[in-house]
């Protein structure tokens, strides 16, 4: 059974960065993409970007270009999403999900990132 376990909640100051991890188990980590999706309080889902570990390729939504860095460590089956220059609007739950051809069939439990001075 595939499981994605994310790191714990974070509280950050405006202008700082946050790095969220997503550790996969129970499947072939490198063969699938890991997408990152966020959800601001009371709002909908927003795709941020993805990494395909086997090819070490990434795609990002234009909105996050220059601010988001997605990496993966195949040796530990862990993906990371780092978001920089944080502002209050980045307060959200951040999810990782295993993705294939756009469909996300396994999700992490979510990580709440709060940006507050």
Partner 1 sequence: SSELTQDPAVSVALGQTVRITCQGDSLRKYYANWYQQKPGQAPVLVIFGKNNRPSGIPDRFSGSSSGNTASLTITGAQAKDEADYYCNSRDSSGNHLLFGGGTKVTVL
Residues near partner 1, by CB under 8 A = 35, 37, 44-47, 50, 59, 61-62, 95, 97, 99, 101-105, 107-110
Bridge partner list, 81: 20, 70
Residue count of the chain: 117
Smallest separation, CB 57 to partner 1 (Å) = 10
Shortest reach from residue 116's CB to partner 1, in Å: 21
74, β-bridge pairs: none
> Judged by CB, which is closer to partner 1: 15, or 43?
43
Q: Does residue 37 contact residue 109 with C-beta atoms inside 8 Å?
A: no
Closer of 90 and 99 to partner 1 (Cβ): 99
Coil/strand/helix, residue 83: strand
Strands 10-12 and 111-115: parallel
**Closest approach of Cβ 65 to partner 1, in Å?**
11
């Amino acid at each position: 059974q595939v499981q994605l376990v994310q790191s714990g909640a974070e509280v950050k100051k405006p202008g700082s960065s946050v790095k969220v991890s997503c550790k996969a188990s129970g499947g072939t980590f490198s063969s699938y993409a890991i997408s990152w999706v966020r959800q601001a309080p009371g709002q909908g889902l927003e795709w941020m970007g993805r990494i395909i570990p086997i090819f070490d390729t990434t795609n990002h939504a234009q909105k996050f270009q220059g601010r988001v860095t997605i990496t993966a460590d195949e040796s530990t089956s862990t993906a990371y999403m780092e978001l920089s220059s944080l502002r209050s609007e980045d307060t959200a739950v951040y999810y990782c999900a295993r993705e294939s051809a756009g469909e996300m069939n396994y999700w992490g439990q979510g990580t709440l990132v709060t940006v507050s001075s």
